[in-house]
Amino acid sequence: MCTCTSHIEWYLSRGVDVTVVLEMRDRSVSMKQKLREDCHFLEITEKEEKIKAAIKKEAYAKYGKHGSQLKSGEKERVIAVSYEGLQELKEVYLFDLYHQLGIKSTYAPSFIDGNAKYVADPMMNAAMNGESIRHKKKAAPLHLLPWS
């Protein structure tokens, strides 16, 4: 099976400086996203998530900050990045990641919370992404108004 670890080892054996960035996401949001947009079969999605987690754990255990395959003084080859952390801390988190990867940049994209559609209602999503919510409100049916 081809894994993060096998990729790292292949590149290192050829003298290539490689770092794998593992995207970590809230498990329930990840499941909802996959079920809604990709797979639609709970049993298959759960198996995929378990395999994905095992691959990430193996790579991090071997080549993460204190990985078993790292030589003394060697930099980590696997960095775990939290999607939710990035959404919360924005530029501060991003620039630290740039530093860890040796990237010299001050570029910061617009941060739009891709999780919102899986955990909040449309009004909340719009507000969280800086959109006006005035035009999104629906008027109450007349028979529900207090003066009707």
Residues 92-136 have pLDDT tens digits of 999 999 999 999 999 999 999 888 887 766 666 566 566 665 555
Q: How far apart are CA 32 and CA 17, in angstroms?
A: 35
In degrees and rounded to multiples of 5, residue 141 shows phi and psi of -55, 140
pLDDT in tens, 126-145: 665 666 655 554 555 555 55
Q: What is the pLDDT of residues 22-47, one digit of tens each?
A: 999 988 888 888 888 888 888 898 99
- Residues contacting 109, CB < 8 A, separation 6+: none
Q: How far is CA 97 from CA 19, 80, 113, in A?
A: 12, 10, 18
Q: What is the mean pLDDT of residues 87-93?
A: 96
CA separation for the pair 98, 62 (Å, rounded): 22
Instruction: Please give the Cα distance from 3 to 51 (Å, whole number).
Output: 10
**pLDDT value, residue 130:** 66
* pLDDT confidence band for 147 (50 / 70 / 90): low
